[in-house]
């Protein structure tokens, strides 16, 4: 019963965090990148902060966070992205499935590599394990999204897009981890 209560709190926190981080990404990060990288094609963000929310939400709540992330990404994409506004077509549904599924799938892969031991729960407290889950999720995400959106005939463009999505996801995760570190230290100072 305690696990259910813990998960129920994350059912509310993860969507709220994801929505506001994505809104910040769209309103602040995207325009800055567009102005700095104007001559380059705009394929993916070089600092994609929502990846941090997906990975950290998965590490905290487990793979079942997919059922919270999927509708959140679907609704966010429907209302916030110009390419999807007002249209619930298959690209939006596939994009939401990929975005919501990559971190839980990476979590399960790392858990399987760890031989599904009880110590796996303890390794989630290690930032290296979180980065490993984030890296695997980013590889899955970048390949799947690029294949979904790009034309497969242009291999060099696909490799560049996959690399850019991977870099953006990993920088976003690193920024998210550093932000959490500072938030926890600030909270710790206030309680002392």
| Most confident by average pLDDT, 5-9, 36-40, 83-87, 133-137 | 133-137
Half-sphere exposure (Cβ direction) of 30: Cα atoms closer than 13 Å: 14
Pick the closest to residue 179 from 34, 57, 53, 15 (CA basis).
53
Instruction: Show the tokens assigned to 5.
Output: 């209560």
What pLDDT, on a 0 to 100 scale, did the predictor assign at position 68? 93
Mean per-residue pLDDT for 61-75?
Answer: 91
Please state the separation of Cα 184 from the chain's center in Å: 21
Residue 17 exposed, middle or buried by CB count within 10 Å (0-12, 13-18, 19+): buried
Question: What is the predicted pLDDT for the residue at 129?
Answer: 86
Q: Report yes or no: 96 and 148 within 8 Å, Cβ to Cβ.
A: no
Is residue 38 pLDDT above 80, yes or no?
Answer: no
What was the pLDDT predicted at 10? 79
Q: Give how far Cα 41 sits from Cα of 36, 38, 44, 87, 117, Å.
A: 12, 8, 9, 24, 45
% of residues, the chain, pLDDT over 70? 82
The pTM for the full model equals: 0.84
Name the DSSP class of 149.
H
Nearest-angstrom CA–CA distance, 31 and 10: 30
Q: Residue 95 in contact with residue 80, Cβ under 8 Å?
A: no
Model confidence at 158, pLDDT cuts 50, 70, 90, reads confident
- Could you read off the pLDDT of 77-119 as tens digits, one per residue? 877 776 655 555 778 888 889 999 999 999 999 988 887 776 7
């Amino acid at each position: 019963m305690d696990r259910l209560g813990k998960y129920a709190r994350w059912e509310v926190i993860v969507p709220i965090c994801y929505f506001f981080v994505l809104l910040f990404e769209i309103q602040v990060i995207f325009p800055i990148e567009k102005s700095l990288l104007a001559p380059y094609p705009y394929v993916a963000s070089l600092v994609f902060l929502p990846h941090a929310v997906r990975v950290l939400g998965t590490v905290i709540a487990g793979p079942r966070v997919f059922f919270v992330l999927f509708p959140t990404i679907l609704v966010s994409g429907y209302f916030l992205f110009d390419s999807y506004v007002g249209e619930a077509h298959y690209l939006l549904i596939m994009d939401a499935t990929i975005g919501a599924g990559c971190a839980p799938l990476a979590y399960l892969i790392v858990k399987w590599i760890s031989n599904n031991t009880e110590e796996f729960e303890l390794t989630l407290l290690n930032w290296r394990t979180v980065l490993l889950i984030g890296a695997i999720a980013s590889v899955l995400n970048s390949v799947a999204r690029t294949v979904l959106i790009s034309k497969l005939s242009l291999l060099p463009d696909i490799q560049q897009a996959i690399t850019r999505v991977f870099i953006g996801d990993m920088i976003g995760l690193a920024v998210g981890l550093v932000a959490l570190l500072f938030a926890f230290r600030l909270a710790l100072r206030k309680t002392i």
